[in-house]
């Protein structure tokens, strides 16, 4: 099943204790697309770049079956972000945000994308997110992300988007900020009360938690010996999560497996600068780490033991 | 299998957004003992209180099969702690620490405890922890906890204790402080290099992670709608963890299950002030929440699906 994503495509300059990169391919929709493309195809990208955008950036995306018919190339400069991470790699310090052509982004959903089944609204102005939702003909699954800036400046529009989607993906701090309570369960409940089927809370090095009406699921992050650059980890999580769902079903069980995929791909993202590691990923790399994460978090259940026993008994009979 | 614990027994005055308690039964060894007693008996407590210690405190402990022959009643006042938690219940603000008789605590291990198989050194002066270890005749399993104060003031002695025990239990911040690195895996490796078999990292609302030489295990915390008072959660975790190990085996599998028990009992501790909730716990309460935590964190594995299939096939045959 194809996936439509609307978000940013940017050129990132990032410094971390491991080194730095200059004007590397970045942006929420980029990370999302590359991660989602590991699970399903094609990915329909709706975004804008300037006419200075390097052609090898486009080639990288096309190579991974990202359909660029919705990528507008606008006269002017591409969105640029400059950031720095200190020893504590959990939070970035933004040194510069040059929106450039992204400042006037008016997402145009190509007519042929109107019947898209799976739609992801990455972090952009919530009013634009609403416009995109209106341009799509009742998707089977829709999800959104946002950020502290929109929660503070366009809270009502953020609420409207939350009311309109199936899944809300946020990081922990954003969820607490939006709900105005520090208890995560209580905060998630406030969002669930607006109507979405589930709230997926990204917790960085602590993994992920999913709150649904009567259900809960949590997965620790894949532990990393060295984090090179966490930029895009949350968007990669979202891409793998949505790609995995689009490639299977939208059941609760599928959602739990999708969380696992999200944690795995996000961990790879952190291991190199920018999209480098995710670009080089093969399905078997993901599968190997997924099995590792399972062995790190799963307990042989009483049920499994019971089944072992039943198999033995059946063999004896 | 019995468990020996050395630590503090105190009277805590605590204020949280949910209310407050005055001079309630507290202290690391108290929480540890009550939690451990859910899994194994007896618990041999080595600690000191003043002659003002309320007799119902002693009765509460005795009722839960905590053996008090090692509890010294010294002339003077019992250790008192006064603390406050704000909206963010993760860290306590200490308003007063009156060590009183605990300032001169000289743990005396009764002769009949010398051949104890399982020993837990709760957070006390590391020099005292070493003395206790010397007084016990090669336990089958020994573990320690400590705190920021000792890591800063008696680092060498803390290191000596780490070298001498099988398991090191610390919270995240303490592990980072001791190792001097922010990456948790790297930090745990520095402790593992000293010799212990595993480092158990307590992460509060984020659960727990276990680092062993070639193994890793992580468990998210049990999610709580309302945290009343987190005091003693870490010590309850340790008590349930060690009690569970003492009641089964010391294998890796037993360790993973013990982490689960620790998370469950710690979550109960947070639901009421002081030891209130843990005191009222029955085995079936723990078992019910344990099954819930499993359903929150476990994925039906490929192996389980295979077994399901095998059982169905066997039934058909």
**Ordered per-residue pLDDT tens for chain B, 317 residues:** 999 999 999 999 999 999 999 999 999 999 999 999 999 999 999 999 999 999 999 999 999 999 999 999 999 999 999 999 998 888 889 999 999 999 999 999 999 999 989 999 999 999 999 999 999 998 999 999 999 999 999 999 999 999 999 999 999 999 999 999 999 999 999 999 999 999 999 999 999 999 999 999 999 999 999 999 999 999 999 999 999 999 888 899 999 999 999 999 999 999 999 999 999 999 999 999 999 999 999 996 545 555 555 555 555 55
Q: Tell me what pLDDT residue A302 has.
A: 47
B304 and A299 in contact by Cβ < 8 A?
no
Q: Which of A184, A181, A146, A148 is nearest to A165 (CA)?
A: A146
Cβ of A314 under 8 Å from any chain B Cβ? yes
Domain ranges within chain B, ordered by starting residue:
3-316
Q: Tell me what pLDDT residue A247 has.
A: 87
Cβ of A264 under 8 Å from any chain B Cβ? no
**Structure token digits, residue B32:** 């540890």
Instruction: Please list, residue by residue across A242-253, b when 16 or more beta carbons sit within 10 angstroms of its beta carbon and e when fewer do.
Output: bbbbbbbebeee
B297 and A218 in contact by Cβ < 8 A?
yes
B185 and A223 in contact by Cβ < 8 A?
yes
> Which residues of chain A are under the pLDDT cut of 70?
300-317
For residue B316, the chain A residues in CB contact (below 8 A) are none
In A111-250, the DSSP E strands lie at 118-121, 141-144, 167-171, 198-202, 208-212, 216-219
Rounded CA-CA distance B46/A305 in Å is: 39
Architecture of the structural domain at B3-316? 3-Layer(aba) Sandwich (3.40)
Inter-chain Cβ pairs, chain A and chain B, closer than 8 A: 108
CATH 3.30.70.330 fits A3-126+136-143+226-316, yes or no: no
A183 and B88 in contact by Cβ < 8 A?
no
From the CB of residue A65, how many other CB atoms can be counted at a distance below 10 Å? 14
Task: Tell me: ipTM over 0.85.
Answer: yes
Picking from A203, A216, A227, the nearest residue to B223 by CB comes out as: A216
Q: Tell me what pLDDT residue A310 has.
A: 55
Q: Tell me what pLDDT residue B314 has.
A: 56
Read off the pTM: 0.92
B298 and A296 in contact by Cβ < 8 A?
no
**Cis bond before residue B264 (omega within 30° of 0):** no
Cβ of A96 under 8 Å from any chain B Cβ? no
Upper half-sphere CA count for residue B188 (Cβ side, 13 Å): 28
Rounded CA-CA distance A71/A93 in Å is: 28
């Amino acid at each position: 099943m194809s996936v439509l994503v609307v978000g940013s495509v940017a050129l990132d300059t990032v410094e971390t204790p491991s080194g730095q990169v200059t004007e590397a391919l970045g942006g929420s929709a980029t990370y999302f697309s590359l991660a989602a493309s590991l699970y399903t195809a094609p990915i329909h990208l709706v975004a804008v770049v300037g006419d200075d955008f390097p052609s090898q950036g486009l080639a990288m995306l096309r190579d991974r079956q990202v359909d660029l018919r919705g990528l507008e190339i606008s006269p002017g400069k591409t969105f640029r972000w400059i950031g720095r991470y200190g020893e504590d790699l959990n939070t970035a310090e933004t040194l510069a945000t040059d929106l450039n052509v992204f400042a006037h982004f008016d997402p145009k959903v190509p007519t042929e994308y109107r019947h898209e089944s799976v739609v992801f609204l990455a972090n952009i102005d919530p009013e634009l997110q609403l416009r995109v939702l209106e341009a799509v003909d009742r998707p089977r699954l829709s999800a959104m992300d946002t950020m502290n800036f929109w929660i503070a400046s366009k809270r009502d529009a953020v609420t409207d988007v939350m009311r309109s989607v199936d899944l809300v993906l946020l990081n922990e701090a954003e969820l607490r900020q939006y709900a105005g309570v520090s208890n995560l369960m209580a905060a998630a409940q406030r969002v669930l009360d607006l109507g979405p089927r589930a709230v997926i809370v990204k917790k960085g090095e602590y993994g992920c938690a999913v709150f649904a009406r009567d259900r809960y699921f949590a997965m620790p992050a894949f532990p990393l010996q060295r984090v090179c650059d966490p930029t895009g980890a949350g968007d990669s999580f979202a891409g793998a999560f949505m790609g995995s769902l689009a490639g299977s079903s939208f059941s609760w069980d599928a959602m739990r497996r999708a969380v696992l995929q999200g944690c795995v791909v996000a961990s790879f993202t952190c291991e190199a600068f920018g999209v480098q590691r995710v670009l080089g990923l093969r399905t078997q790399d993901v599968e190997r780490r997924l099995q590792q994460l399972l062995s790190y978090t799963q307990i042989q259940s009483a049920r499994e033991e019971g089944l072992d026993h039943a198999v033995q008994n059946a063999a004896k009979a």
